Structure 1
């Protein structure tokens, strides 16, 4: 299920604002230990509708924000949280909200645009303690294997069959590019590139809800 939020933005929003979105998400949900354990079975998009200017983003016509989750109870809890507190911080405030059901997917392959760049990180098993993970982009063929591994782990965590599920970048897409973003002073390189999810209708629907790649709970890898 997906919660589509329409926001007003009264202030210049800093480029480095993902922590504001994540903070609002967790305030609305309230304290939930189960939600923080294991992989994120939900995904947050980036804000849409902004224009870059010196020092940040301006949303003259408002912003769109998508939050999706495998468990519909998360979405319903978010709605209750928005009713209690419509403000996110940094001049952002919810003015309208809509609930969206997953599209009627079919078995096979499904092409998706991304609502936020896909982040893939890899730390070799032999890496020393404290070593930084490598950030892989669509240009590296190894990313398809890592994307597939992450989706299958999430399927297993949700108690679903992971057999045959796979994810790969659409490297034939002409507009594919990499995107540098920062989260809490850490610079990350991600891919603004469509993906193709292969699997059963249930597995594809699951990917639409939870996103692909790493850090979907921070705003990466949300699917349109």
Structure 2
């Protein structure tokens, strides 16, 4: 965050801010060690500072704003369909994806529920091109219902599909 796109490419006049999160603390430690060993990135950028954020305080029903758009996809017959905030099944699919991630991490998936905030005044979609694949994703806060452990897990891993490449990051 902190940059803009112009005709020449990305422009980060005042530097950039990245938030990288993971449920796997060993992965975060490895990442930090790598940054400390070699802070140089691509395109003339380098890391000047790393700060560790604590998990947020959460309520049993918590609204989250987004750092990045939420991508939801399902394979139907031979096609992959993308879902957005305006699709009735989007909440069901976000919930199923989070439940699967919770289960894979050895956590209880029961009782968690995810849905877009229908009271948000300006939801939008963005078309993101990733490796030649156009992904329609949603910019709209989500509401997550569940235990403290489930909500903090969601904050760390993100919501929706393709969170490992940056989709669905929560503020």
1:60 aligns to 2:7 (yes or no): no
* Residues in 1 aligned to 2:68 and 2:45: alpha-carbon distance in whole angstroms: 19
2:67 match: 115
TM-score under structure 2 normalisation?
Answer: 0.96
CA distance in 2 between counterparts of 1:90 and 1:52 reads 14
1:132-147 equivalences in 2 (<5 Å): 132-147=79-94
Show CA shifts across 1:110-138 (max 9, x none).
000010000001102xx13xxx4111110
Higher relative strand content: 1
- 1:204 equivalent in structure 2: 151
Structure 2 segments unaligned to the other structure (5+ residues): none
Q: 2:36 aligns with which of 76, 83, 86?
A: 83
In the superposition, the TM-score normalised over structure 1's length comes to: 0.74
- Select the residue among 132, 136, 142 that pairs with 1:185: 132
Deviations 1:139-177 (A, max 9, x none): 101110000000000110111111100110012211210
1:164 aligned onto 2:116: no
Runs of 4+ in 1 over 3 A off after TM superposition: none
Classify the secondary structure of the residue corresponding to 2:34. Answer: helix
User: Following TM superposition, by how much is the alpha carbon of 1:75 offset from its aligned partner in structure 2, in angstroms?
Assistant: 0.8
| Higher RCO, Cα 8 Å, sep 6+ | 1
How much has 1:56 moved relative to structure 2? 2.3
Show CA shifts across 1:168-219 (max 9, x none): 0012211210011111111111001100011011110110000000000011
